[in-house]
Amino acid sequence: MAKLYDLSKLAVLVVDDNKFMRQIVFQILHGLGIRQVAQAHNVDSALEVMTDSPTDFILSDLDMGAKSGLDLIKAIRQSDRPEMRMLPIVMVTGNATRKYVESARDAGVTEFIAKPLTAQSLYVRIVDVIERPRQFVKTKKYFGPDRRRKSDDSYDGPRRRADDRG
């Protein structure tokens, strides 16, 4: 049984070019008690919404035509606004092939959620974001959450992560 979170203070941005899919996500989020749900039908519109309204995390489709969810992730991670750069981005995908997963991971996605969406699957993902934040990594080529999710006991290379130094 999942523990209960009061999510009523969160502001979520839903990005999907399919209106019905946005409605699906909107209904689930409202059912989970989230009242501030903004919607955008493409990447440009999403970036505008984020400029105008507070956003705590983003749920975005991957495949949206000319500009994809990957472009959105890159725009956010390269933003000049620090609070925007570190926003959690959950990618909703019906096509979780290795290639897509790796591209999204390398662009700086926080989490994935596979379709078909259910209230349970979406809630579990939100709780993951709340309870298991990953530190951010900044290199010349990458800015985003640490892409190494698990600690590897057999790893004997240099230990550079902040949580390695505890």
Helix (H, G, I), strand (E, B) or coil at 66: coil
Amino acid symbol at 127: V
* Shortest distance (Å) from residue 38 CB to another protein: 15
Cα–Cα dist 110/31, whole Å = 23
Q: Restricting to residues 99-118, which ones interact with another protein according to CB under 8 A?
A: 115-118
Residue 151 binding another protein, by CB under 8 A: no
Residue 147 binding another protein, by CB under 8 A: no
Q: Restricting to residues 35-64, which ones interact with another protein according to CB under 8 A?
A: 56-57, 63
Amino acid symbol at 122: L
Helix (H, G, I), strand (E, B) or coil at 146: coil
Cα–Cα dist 104/162, whole Å = 24
Cα–Cα dist 128/24, whole Å = 21
Q: Which of 30, 35, 81, 148 binds another protein (CB under 8 A)?
A: 30
Using an 8 Å Cβ cutoff, are 62 and 92 in contact? Answer: yes
Q: Which of 59, 88, 91, 107 binds another protein (CB under 8 A)?
A: 88
Residues that bind another protein (CB under 8 A): 1-7, 9-10, 18, 20-21, 23-24, 27-28, 30-33, 56-57, 63, 83, 86, 88, 94-95, 115-120, 122-123, 126, 129-131, 133-140, 145-146, 160-162
